[in-house]
Structure 1
């Protein structure tokens, strides 16, 4: 199963590429921003799937999505084999 995740743009690179931080972790992903309708800026939150930014998110939407993903991960840890 593949999952799209929110990530914050921390660096912009040439050729429509950006380095993004996932949540408050030390996990970073390099993503293509070529599919976005408007250019990404440092501090933007993006929904990222398979190395591509699909769209921008506002801060609240990104935080709520991350909260739900953490909650799902905790449920999975508490109930192995439940999914």
Structure 2
């Protein structure tokens, strides 16, 4: 099983003949190959696994998914005794 959190594409570039995206989630940026997708633009949301963008998501679905992840993280923090500042 793999889990992927939607990340927002903040840059697209080519390197060594390959097309890449830089995608960001909560300030963490990662590089992902775009070899498996077409039509990805800056501002789009993608799911990334093992360095590849696997799926493009519309903004509404991405935000619903991100909200669900945030709820999960909050519950896990509560279970682990993490206090919010």
Do the structures match in fold with TM over 0.5? yes
Q: Secondary structure, in 3 states, of the residue corresponding to 1:70?
A: helix
Native 8 Å contact 1:10 1:18 kept in 2: yes
Matched, 1:17 2:20: yes
Deviation at 1:16, TM superposition (A): 1.6
Q: Give the TM-score taking structure 1 as reference length.
A: 0.83
User: How far 1:26 sits from its partner (Å)?
Assistant: 1.5
CA radius of gyration, larger in: 2
**1:39 CA displacement:** 2.9
Equivalent residues in 2 for 1:43-82, closer than 5 Å: 43-80=43-80
Match of 1:32 in 2: 33
- In the aligned structure 1, how far is the partner of 2:2 from the partner of 2:79? 20
In structure 1, the partner of 2:3 is 3
Unpaired stretches in structure 1, ≥5 consecutive residues:
none
Superposition deviation, residue 10 in structure 1: 0.9
Question: TM-score, structure 2 length as denominator?
Answer: 0.81
Deviation at 1:41, TM superposition (A): 1.0
